[in-house]
Amino acid sequence: MNTVKQNTLKNRYGPKIKFLISVVLGTILALIVGLATSSSGALPAPKHHQIIISGFEFSPKELMVSAGDRVTWINKDIVPHNIALNSMQKALSPDLASGEKFSFIVDNSLSYICGLHPSMQGKLIVK
């Protein structure tokens, strides 16, 4: 092409090409920033909660937790206790002697009892 045609094409399409390049680069930059923000602002870290078993009671009796949190029951009573699902009386833990602990990662709300002493009741509520 001759110089006159090249200058005409450059003047005609140059601003559009510059605009298109800036839009593409801006989009790529926004995607990179968005990915970096979403990966660093992910789910909060799971928390650790304790429930004390003492005087034939769970303390606290009801506990608000998030899915993925860890709950640890600590038997500070003089007799053994365990943790069982209230609905099925299915044991979640072995029998815990005085001073022993049992941990469980919560995924759903649940009601529980001591399988050895069913009058002892507690509840984990997933918020």
CATH number at 69 reads 2.60.40.420
| pTM as predicted | 0.66
Cα-based angle 89, 57, 99 (whole degrees, multiple of 5): 90
pLDDT at 122 > cutoff 70: yes
Q: What is the mean pLDDT of the chain?
A: 85
Q: Are residues 105 and 75 in the same domain?
A: yes
Q: Which domain holds residue 112?
A: 48-126
User: How many domains in the chain?
Assistant: 2
Q: Are residues 32 and 65 in the same domain?
A: no
Q: Are residues 109 and 75 in the same domain?
A: yes
Q: Are residues 86 and 110 in the same domain?
A: yes
What pLDDT score does 30 carry?
Answer: 72
Q: Are 59 and 36 in contact (CB under 8 A)?
A: no
Q: Are residues 31 and 55 in the same domain?
A: no
Q: Are residues 62 and 122 in the same domain?
A: yes
pLDDT at 37 > cutoff 80: no
Q: Are residues 35 and 95 in the same domain?
A: no
User: How far is residue 101's CA from residue 67's CA, in Å, rounded to a whole number?
Assistant: 21
Q: How many CB atoms lie within 10 A of CB 74?
A: 17
Q: Are residues 38 and 81 in the same domain?
A: no
What pLDDT score does 107 carry?
Answer: 94
Q: Are residues 54 and 100 in the same domain?
A: yes
Query: Is residue 26 classed as helix, strand or coil in its secondary structure?
Result: helix
User: How far is residue 56's CA from residue 8's CA, in Å, rounded to a whole number?
Assistant: 91
Q: Please classify residue 81 by burial: count the beta carbons closer than 10 Å to its beta carbon, then call 0-12 exposed, 13-18 middle and 19+ buried.
A: buried
Q: What percent of the chain has pLDDT over 90?
A: 60
Q: Are residues 30 and 89 in the same domain?
A: no
What pLDDT score does 109 carry?
Answer: 96
Q: Are residues 82 and 105 in the same domain?
A: yes
Residue 69 banded pLDDT, cuts 50, 70, 90: very high
pLDDT at 26 > cutoff 90: no
Q: Are residues 30 and 55 in the same domain?
A: no
